[in-house]
Amino acid sequence: MPGTRLRVLSKFMEWAKNDPMRIFWLAGLAGTGKTSIAVTLCRMLQDEPDIMLGGAFFCSRTANVSELTDARYIIPTLVVALAEQSPIFAAALTAELAADLRAALKPVSNQISILLQRPLKSLVPTPRSIIFIIDALDECSDENEVRKILQAISTFACDASVKFIVTSRPETHISTSPISSSDRNSVLRLHTIDTSQVTEDIRLYVADAFSKSPLEESWYTESDVILLAGHADGLFIFASTIIAYVLDTESVEDRVARLRTVVNAMKDSQVATGPLDAMYEFVLTRASDTKRVEPNELEATRQVLACIAMARMPLSIVALAEILRRKPDVLRASLRRLRAVIHVPDEADQPGLRMVHASFSDYLSDRAAAKLRVPAALGNESLARGCLRVMDERLHFNVSQSHSSHAENSATVPNTVNLSLEYACLQWIYHIDGLPQPWIMESDINLIFLPKILFWLEVMSVLGRVRRAAAMLIFAATAVRSQYRM
């Protein structure tokens, strides 16, 4: 394990065992390795006899799961994880829920009290410390909810030995909260660690990845590794992107050519941006080389990237292809040159298309060159129109193939409701609301969606989302008619 990471993890373990402070905040810029540390820490805590990993919540914008960007899901998820390990806590939690069935839907401060603070009394006294890990808190979408959870855990009081480890970027709404107080909490800022130590860690990381390749070692040199580590500027995500780009081929010649291209680009300083943006620009520029990619292919790839960035739940190649009216093999081919920055599942019908790192999504929408920039509106409009089109083509009478309207819907989703139709039915209005002018879709809703509304309700019923359907209809009416209130 690289030296700096080992020192950070040792500091964590020392705090967990001996420090009376309840919160350890690990702050770091994008790509500095916060999540990898959190994952490693989870594994280490599993083997500690004096410490119990109560639960972990990994916030993520790139997973395309809306619950992972909603801070209101954090406490309920953590208490369920603890209940699965402790029958005593589970019994106390069950009693609290019996008294208040809607506890998990309440504000964070109430969640802490009802779901965690009260049930934890059942574990007093306990010789083991209980650690909860919340990773990448800055990736939650609602800053106000993030402030609430930070305030709640900062004022949390309990006789049981309970501690929280929080990792995040040093965003303003987090760094100005009580969590940043070194007098009340332990604070470690990764980006303040000596750069030479981190560079050495990255050198070891790159060398280890290259040496594990099935090809002979002569395809790279130590000077290559040193150069790449030096240009990483302390960002592990920079190094991992290089590794993914270089190793994404089985050919010795292609691998050597890719490495030489990267090394030469670094030597020539072809880009004047920060190291992470430089790597993203490098990958995108080569993926959009006009000698190999036609202009229409480039525009199609931009649309696909925009959709992956804005998707609200994991999609597969097949599902996204149907939504965009593309052939799955063509869509996969358009992403082949971007596998260093886009996770593409092995199987075409396997969900999981996503950005490898949230910083890539930020780069695409905010900092990329004009011809490469991917605005959020492009993804939302493409997905909104695609969802409406899928519902228009796929919704019909008895779409669920039910034998009787009097029988309860089966818990198993029928084959007629595949991932693309499920996504379309669940997410269409949210993409419309994400447009700068959502009311431009009102005619499409009237012409396409309303004639199919009863069939849509049937699918929502099969998916167990009838309550959500009612909320979505209210939301749709509010979104598309907002221009009349201006």
Question: What 3-state DSSP class applies to 409?
Answer: coil
Decide: 48 and 210 in contact? Cβ < 8 Å.
no
CATH number, position 344: 1.10.10
Distance between CA 427 and CA 430 in Å, rounded?
A: 6
Q: Are residues 260 and 301 in the same domain?
A: no
The string of pLDDT tens digits covering residues 383-434 is: 999 999 999 999 999 888 776 555 665 555 666 779 999 999 999 999 999 9
**List of residues 6+ apart from 143 with CB closer than 8 A:** 173
Q: Are residues 459 and 347 in the same domain?
A: no
Q: Token pair 């008895």 is at which residue?
A: 398
Q: pTM of this prediction?
A: 0.78
Q: Are residues 93 and 132 in the same domain?
A: yes
CATH number, position 72: 3.40.50.300
Domain count, the chain: 4
Angle at 372 between CA 370 and CA 378, to 5 degrees: 90
Q: Are residues 14 and 162 in the same domain?
A: yes
Residue 288 in any domain: the answer is no
Q: Are residues 333 and 389 in the same domain?
A: no
Q: Are residues 318 and 263 in the same domain?
A: no
Q: Which of 336, 355, 374 is the last residue of a domain?
A: 374
pLDDT grade for 57, boundaries at 50, 70 and 90:
very high
Rg (CA), the chain: 25
Predicted pLDDT of residue 485: 42
Mean pLDDT of 22-46: 90
The residue that leads in pLDDT, 400 or 288, is 400
Residue 464 in any domain: the answer is yes
Residue 462 in any domain: the answer is yes
Q: Are residues 463 and 420 in the same domain?
A: yes
Residue 317 in any domain: the answer is yes
Residue 156 in any domain: the answer is yes
Tell me the average pLDDT of the chain: 86
Which domain covers residue 355, as residue numbers?
Answer: 295-374
Q: Are residues 246 and 258 in the same domain?
A: yes
Predicted pLDDT of residue 160: 81
Q: Are residues 259 and 369 in the same domain?
A: no
Q: Are residues 169 and 70 in the same domain?
A: yes
Residue 258 in any domain: the answer is yes
Both structure tokens of 4: 């700096």
The string of pLDDT tens digits covering residues 341-351 is: 999 998 999 99
Q: Which of 237, 270, 303 is the last residue of a domain?
A: 270
Amino acid at site 274: G
Predicted pLDDT of residue 412: 56
Q: Are residues 94 and 118 in the same domain?
A: yes
Q: Are residues 419 and 327 in the same domain?
A: no
Residue 393 in any domain: the answer is yes
DSSP state of 160: S
The residue that leads in pLDDT, 159 or 344, is 344
Predicted pLDDT of residue 216: 59
Residue 414: CB atoms within 10 Å: 14
Residue 253 in any domain: the answer is yes
Q: Which of 146, 176, 191 is the last residue of a domain?
A: 191
